[in-house]
Structure 1
Amino acid sequence: MNRAEREAAARRIMERVPAPVPPDVHTEAVRRGERLLRRRRLARRVLWLLACAAAVAFAVWAAHARPWVEPPSQTTPPITGW
């Protein structure tokens, strides 16, 4: 196919009358789109809630366990009576 034939084929395709679309397709697409957006928003909120709960739980654990403090040495008994 040379360039002129391709252009002619493309023009024929673009000049065709589009197939009729049922009237309820638009409303169904809008309904599905709104439902999809609602689900995404709910999932995003749940994930943020879980992230905040995890941060609070970590902060409470860190305040109680104090992992940055060295534990007391228990390998050598204290020296007394010198």
Structure 2
Amino acid sequence: MSGLERREAEARRLLLAGPRPPVPADLAARAAGQGRRLLRGRRFVRGAAWLLLVAAVVALCALTAVAGSSPGAAPPPPGW
């Protein structure tokens, strides 16, 4: 018997030999609530990241539009 098999057998014996610990009645409801909070937080962060990206693209477009129409800009070369 290898060391891994021995450890698995010992863990199995410990789990089956002793009394099972009591589980709170509302454990599933608390776990589901925590999962919902985690998902809501991730959704908020993802939405904020998209909003920031869109704002950056709009700002870049506005900057290029203003910079392209500045009076000090050189005219395009002939033939363009």
TM bucket (normalised to shorter chain) is 0.5 to 0.7
Larger Rg computed on CA atoms: 1
TM-score with structure 2 setting the length = 0.66
Letter of the 1:34 counterpart: R
Deviation at 1:61, TM superposition (A): 0.3
Letter of the 1:54 counterpart: A
Gaps of 5+ in 2: 75-80
User: How much is the aligned-residue C-alpha RMSD, in angstroms?
Assistant: 2.4
Q: Going by fraction, where is helix more abundant, 1 or 2?
A: 2
For 1:34 and 1:48, the matched residues in 2 are separated by 21
For 1:33 and 1:26, the matched residues in 2 are separated by 11
**Aligned partner of 1:19 among 21, 24, 30:** 21
TM-score with structure 1 setting the length = 0.64
1:62 aligns to 2:67 (yes or no): no
Letter of the 1:15 counterpart: L
Residues 22-65 of structure 1: CA deviation (Å, up to 9, x unaligned): 01111111111101101110111111011101101101101211
Question: Cα–Cα, structure 1 residues 47 and 7, in superposed 2: closer, same or farther, change >3 Å?
Answer: closer
- Identity among equivalent pairs (%): 42
Structure 1 segments of 4 or more deviating over 4 A? 2-8
